[in-house]
Amino acid sequence: MKSLRTIFRYAAKYPKLILAYFSCNIISNLFSVVSLGMLSPFLLLIFKKQDISQGVSRNTGFFSRINPVDQFKSWLYEILKTPNGDIKALGFICILILSFIILKNIFLYMGIYFLTPVRNAVVNDMRTKMYKKILVLPVGYFNDQKKGDIMSRFTNDLSDVESSVINLLETLFREPVTIIIFFAYLIILSPQLTFFLILFLPISGLIIGRIGRSLKKHSTRAQEKLGAILSTIEETLGGIRVIKAFNAEKKQYGKFEKQNNELLIIKNRVNRKRDLASPVSEVMGVAAVVCVLWYGGRLVLRNSFLNPGDFLTYIVIFSYIIQPLKTLSAAAYNIRKGAASIERIEHLIAEDVSIKEIANPVIINNFEDSIEFKNVSFSYENKVTLEDINLKIEKGRTVALVGSSGAGKSTLVDLVPRFHDTVNGELKIDGINIRDYSLVSLRNQMGIVTQEPILFNDTIANNISLGMDNATEDQIINAAKIANAHQFILQKENGYDTIIGERGNKLSGGEKQRVTIARAVLKNPPILILDEATSSLDTESEKLVQEAINNLMNNRTSIVIAHRLSTIRHADEIIVLQKGKIVERGTHMSLMALDGFYHRLVMMQEVK
């Protein structure tokens, strides 16, 4: 039910369209009912025309006055009295039935026409909300597992919502209207018979509902089993080398076979139950009709209250109610199916944004003095990653971070642009806690070159000017020249307008790096954060990239994560991190003299 409320909340943004859909539905149903109502005079006319007048005289009173079919019958009676009246009347009835059915369908289509944009907009709005959310969530939120999970919310969950729950929107707005209008007409036709029906219907509803519930339980189990089989297959595909090398095919097959057989048993059960639903509901439906036939037939035979034409119309309209009732109960089943997806989507949308600006943030226009870490610590969830970091980086200086993988280097530099917030301690820029600055102005002070070049499927020029909408062509070219990229860009087929493919896969590793360096040059930030990555490049590219990096670092304050220790020998301070703590610090010379961890690292790389 909560998921239903969520969908209504989204749909409520389009009240006019929903109202139009609703109105069209009502009109379409009215035409439908009236066209079915024509059956009664038609039948009477064919079999015993004088009964038309009887029909009128019998159903006097309130219902007769509001019943257009009764009005029509009186009118027909007048026509019948004219010469050749019966043929004329028949022609009128046929023309009217056709006209009403055409009108009914026109309004039916108009209803769907108005609802379509709502259906699509609900899914679109959800997608937009999720996308906006991922842009504001802190960097720390996205580990690998989360990324896959988020993707599946955008794809599987959203399409589930589209296929099951949004269809429901249509059903919920349409079927009750149909049922109410048809039911109202049944009451008009014969209040006694309808009262009898109301007593009987809940019993058959209950029986059909029972089958549905047990079906749902089993199909959930079938879904779970299928999920397990899929993960076994995935595991097998991923580990096929190991499975073969260790002759584990038999064991793996045994696992698969067991799950597959279990699924077979459950599926047989589900299918049998599902197949049972149709005959049972037919029997129940016919039983209801038979009861109506019996009770209604008695009313007709006793020649009281109900004429045969109305009685037959009654049965037809009653059979028209069964379908929307079935659709509604199927919808109730679908809500449950889509509810999990809606919940997952809403959960992402409601995710707390932990990196927030204060109410009146300070704007930092120029970095003047220093970046200072004071007793800073940080944890991912409960895992302490940085502990008691104290570090002051004066303007214009270069600080290098070294340490083994997982030591906390990336986490430490991520604190400066507030990708994460410190858990304890303070991080100050120019003496002010960075939490007091506006996020945009803070990040404007920084340029970031990551280890894995992050490029977008766009032109080279647009990749360089990312986030700098006002950059001129000259500025872009100039930045590319400083980054040693101008030459290779000119050699591409469309120069700066060359589209570089997904993640820049049309460029070589060194070229990608130089484009990202050009991006940082163009932004011209006073503070530079550099996750150095020259290790994967060949010597020639490495030289070009290193040169570009040196140009970039000129006259800036830099924090460098160093992988090649040879590149940071001239850093003003080298910080050695281990398990989130600073274990050594100093210049290259002093650290070498210390003969500690740094010395060992340098030795190891030189041996290589």
Checking phi first, is residue 83 left (phi over 0); if not, alpha (psi -120 to 50) or beta? beta
Q: Closest Cα partner for 525 from 467, 486, 454?
A: 467
Among 24, 321, 407, 489, binds ligand ADP (CB under 6 A): 407
The torsion defined by the Cα of 60, 62, 65 and 67, in degrees rounded to 10, comes to -90
Residues between 422 and 461 with contacts to ligand ADP, criterion CB under 6 A: none
The verdict on 380 binding ligand ADP (CB under 6 A) reads yes
Among 190, 219, 259, 411, binds ligand ADP (CB under 6 A): 411
CA–CA dist 418, 424 (Å, integer): 14
Minimum CB separation of residue 577 from ligand ADP in Å reads: 7
Chain center to CA of 495:
38
Per the CB < 8 A criterion, the answer to whether 336 and 216 are in contact is: yes
Residues with Cβ < 8 Å from 608, sequence gap 6 or more? Answer: none
Stretch that binds ligand ADP, among 185-193, 318-326, 334-342, 409-417 (CB under 6 A): 409-417
For residue 353, what are the CA distances in angstroms to 108, 134, 140, 348, 473? 44, 10, 11, 11, 37
Nearer to ligand ADP, 100 or 373 (CB): 373
Nearer to ligand ADP, 303 or 404 (CB): 404
Stretch that binds ligand ADP, among 162-170, 256-264, 362-370, 400-408 (CB under 6 A): 400-408
Stretch that binds ligand ADP, among 85-93, 403-411, 520-528, 542-550 (CB under 6 A): 403-411
Minimum CB separation of residue 358 from ligand ADP in Å reads: 24
Chain center to CA of 319:
39
User: Residue 504 has what DSSP assignment?
Assistant: G
Nearer to ligand ADP, 167 or 377 (CB): 377
Among 25, 29, 327, 410, binds ligand ADP (CB under 6 A): 410
The edge-to-edge listing of strands for the beta sheet with 432-433 is: 383-394, 370-380, 424-429, 432-433
Among 59, 385, 398, 465, binds ligand ADP (CB under 6 A): 385
Cα angle for residues 287, 291, 295 (degrees, 5° grid)? 170
The verdict on 555 binding ligand ADP (CB under 6 A) reads no
Among 84, 145, 360, 405, binds ligand ADP (CB under 6 A): 405
Binding mask 135-164 for ligand ADP (x = CB under 6 A): -----x--x---------------------
Minimum CB separation of residue 381 from ligand ADP in Å reads: 6
Nearer to ligand ADP, 90 or 583 (CB): 583
Q: Closest Cα partner for 521 from 543, 551, 496?
A: 551
Among 15, 406, 467, 501, binds ligand ADP (CB under 6 A): 406
CA–CA dist 374, 422 (Å, integer): 10
Nearer to ligand ADP, 479 or 575 (CB): 575
Binding mask 57-96 for ligand ADP (x = CB under 6 A): ----------------------------------------
For residue 537, what are the CA distances in angstroms to 38, 489, 544? 83, 18, 10
> 């584990």: which residue's tokens?
248
Nearer to ligand ADP, 405 or 555 (CB): 405
- Would you tell me which residues interact with ligand ADP (CB under 6 A)? 140, 143, 380, 383, 385, 403, 405-411
